[in-house]
A and B are shown apart, each in its own frame.
Chain A
Amino acid sequence: MRTTILSLLAVALLVPGVARALDDVQMHDLLKRIDDRQQNQGDYKALAYIEAKERGKSDRVQEAVIYRRDEEDKLMILLLKPKSERGKGYLRMEKNLWMYDPTVGRWERRTERERIHGTDSRRRDFDESRLAVEYTPRYVGEESLGKFKVHHLRLEAKSEADVPYPVMEIWVDAESENVLKAQDFAASGKLMRTTYTPRWKKAFSASKQADVWHPAEIRIYDEVEKDNSTLVLIKEIDLGALPANIFTKAWLESKSR
């Protein structure tokens, strides 16, 4: 009996890449590492190509610039293309998400459930990761996702957290610790969205003196309207300092003039 146990232990230790169950502290540390890897101590700018497919409609392609100042929890998404929608934008400041429509010159306050520019994406998909702050994790199991060994975690939103969905499940690559898949659930348990992030990239941040990770490709599938999906490609990352007054309503309004 003792020989059998020792043999099994030896096999378990020798097999590379096998994920092991995580306890509460390990899960929290994992989420914190995921957050830290994506946060920059300085500013962040990226170009995003967004392609939305919707049942019964022709595909829509949009191009937007993403501006972030993670330390102040500020985010701006400014639409560049198509030309007819140029100047539309979102601004997150003081925990409020504002949308600006230059055609009517009005600001509207939106919630975390807002479909960014009518696609399946949400504000969270473009912003820094806050998993450790906003969610309480529970370990579901060790699984395989294609060729990857992953930790499957169920995250439940903390009561004070303002999130688009109260429950989320994530599949984290045990080796790279990148989130490869996420599913969002309503409180009723209904699956709302499945997101795959097959490609991750990193860029060196001078302000952080470390690499900042970012998803390079996000594929979002609407689980309610089954034929709808959105592809987001993040390109041209710039971690240099942005102008101080950029995260203001006036700045965003000026971009459409």
Chain B
Amino acid sequence: MGRLLLIALRNLGANRRRNLLLGTAIAAVTALMILLGSVGNGIQDTMIDAGTALVSGHVNVSGFYKITAGRPAPVLVHRQQVLREVAQLVPEARLIVDRTRGFGKFVSETDSVQTGLTGIDIERDREILRVVQVLKGSVEDLAGPGTVMLYEAQATRLGVGIGDRVTLTAPVLRGTNNSVDVDVVAIAKDLGLLSIMSCYVSKQVIQDLYLLDPDTTGTIQIYLDDPDDAAAVEARVKLGLEKLGHRLMDKLDVPYFHKFQTIAAEDWTGQKLDVSTWKDELSMLDWTLKTFNTVTMLLTVILLVIIVIGVMNTLWISIRERTREIGTLRAIGMSHGRVLVMVLLEVFCLAVGASAIGVGLGAGLSQVLTWAQIPVSEGFQVFLLSDTLKLVLEPGGVVAALVWIPLLITFFSLFPALRAARMRPITAIHHVG
């Protein structure tokens, strides 16, 4: 076997120019695959990171309250009690916070903006600080009553700055419209889709606006050390809350604001709890990931097909050129099998070497691009929830590239290698090349 490997390596060295070209092509495709994979991982990471900080916990217990069957509100009553129960059901939780939810219209002196509202207790709930970049003012001032943090686009449209007062108005559970005045205390950098459809207010603003009892909230967000545990924790929380006598909603894997229509059509009143995971709440972003992954997959397949065809073609040429050499080897006693292994080893060595270089190249490029903080277009920001591209290199992807690319190329080299192995020595020696 060692001798065969030596012959294979010598053959690689003998046809240096051709193998260099082929190796470069394999390395380039591998590097591109690593790069695309890193972009995909980066997009996924950015979205999940931003999404779980801004709109969802890893697991959420949300309340829907209906005074009449057709009028649902994002309200969870008996906040303290449910918070205690959730804490008992998920003792391993890294953080449990609650946020109020609503939907209203901000009216300034010059314009108005309709948006979703999230009420937070900034002293306890620090998750948004991981993602939000405050341009003006201080997010800490959200601790004060009657305060709002707007995104840049919202503030620009309303024509307001730090310290300005805007009126927030919304229809309340009783059927009338209510208004409260809020002071702009912070303006944050736009965060794609979320800067169009949400903003943060102090928790009590939503309670005042909707005339709610202080012991109410909108959703309880549970943060775990490992987001992958979300499904198991969701199942446990559901079971636990049901045992404790709470009425639970049927699973709907859409964000909470998409659930209102379905809930309004259901014939019940009072409170029902809805347990969801970050995947449900961020499902609106999921198609972006799926689209990107599909495009990446297609591109990778096309590139791999091109490479495989290139390798097979080169191998056909190589075998044809070396017909007499193979015939001589067969004449002096080399078996069919050993010829086959010799050819395959040659391709495998080339593929392994080139893939390793490609992985190194792709990984290096990923690091450089992440470091460069490449800005993304405004259109893409809408879905990415970030203004720069982050690339994340996954060890699994690196190993897969190192294993699968050489194996695939070697597998498709089997056909020309078999042809070489089946050659009759007398025919091969008489071959005029």
Contacts and interface: CB of A to CB of B under 8 A. Distances in A.
Interface of A: 106-114, 165-166, 186-190, 192, 222, 224-225
Nearest to B183: A187
Given A187-B183, A225-B110, A108 B176 contact: yes
A225 B167 contact: no
B109 to A, nearest CB: 4
Contacts of A166: 165
Contacts of B180: 111
B163 A109 contact: no
Contact of B163 (A113, A114, A189): A189
Contacts of B177: 106, 108-109
Contacts of A225: 109-110
B210 to A, nearest CB: 11
B162 A188 contact: yes
Contact of A108 (B162, B163, B178): B178
**Most chain B beta carbons < 10 A, residue from A108, A166, A225:** A108
Given A188-B164, A190-B164, A224 B179 contact: no
A110 B177 CA distance: 8
Contacts of B159: 224
Interface in B130-179: 159, 161-165, 167, 169, 175-179
A107 B176 contact: yes
Given A108-B178, A108-B179, A224-B159, A114 B110 contact: no
Contacts of B178: 108-109
A165 B161 CA distance: 15
> Which 6 pairs from chain A and chain B are nearest by CB?
A188-B163, A187-B163, A108-B177, A224-B109, A186-B164, A109-B178
A108 B175 CA distance: 9
Nearest to A188: B163
B181 interface: yes
A113 B164 contact: no
B206 to A, nearest CB: 15
A222 B110 CA distance: 10
Contact of B179 (A106, A114, A165, A192): A114
By DSSP majority rule, is chain A's interface helix, strand, loop, or mixed?
loop
Nearest to A189: B163
14 contacts: A106-B177, A108-B176, A108-B179, A109-B177, A113-B167, A114-B167, A114-B179, A186-B165, A187-B163, A187-B165, A222-B109, A224-B110, A224-B159, A225-B110
A95 to B, nearest CB: 13
Nearest to A96: B178
A78 to B, nearest CB: 19
Contacts of A192: 109
Nearest to A185: B163
A106 B176 contact: yes
A54 to B, nearest CB: 12
Nearest to A162: B181
B324 to A, nearest CB: 89
Interface in B275-330: none
Contacts of A224: 109-110, 159
A56 to B, nearest CB: 13
A109 B109 contact: no
Contacts of A108: 169, 176-179
Contacts of A111: 167, 179-181
B53 to A, nearest CB: 28
Contacts of B167: 110-111, 113-114
A110 B162 CA distance: 23
Nearest to A113: B167
B165 A109 contact: no
Contacts of A188: 161-164
Nearest to B165: A186
Nearest to B177: A108
Contacts of A114: 167, 179
Contacts of B183: 187
Which of B109, B162, B177 has the most chain A CB atoms inside 10 A of its CB? B109
Contacts of A110: 167, 169, 179
B181 A190 contact: no
Contacts of B161: 188, 190
A149 B84 CA distance: 65
A160 B343 CA distance: 88
B121 to A, nearest CB: 21
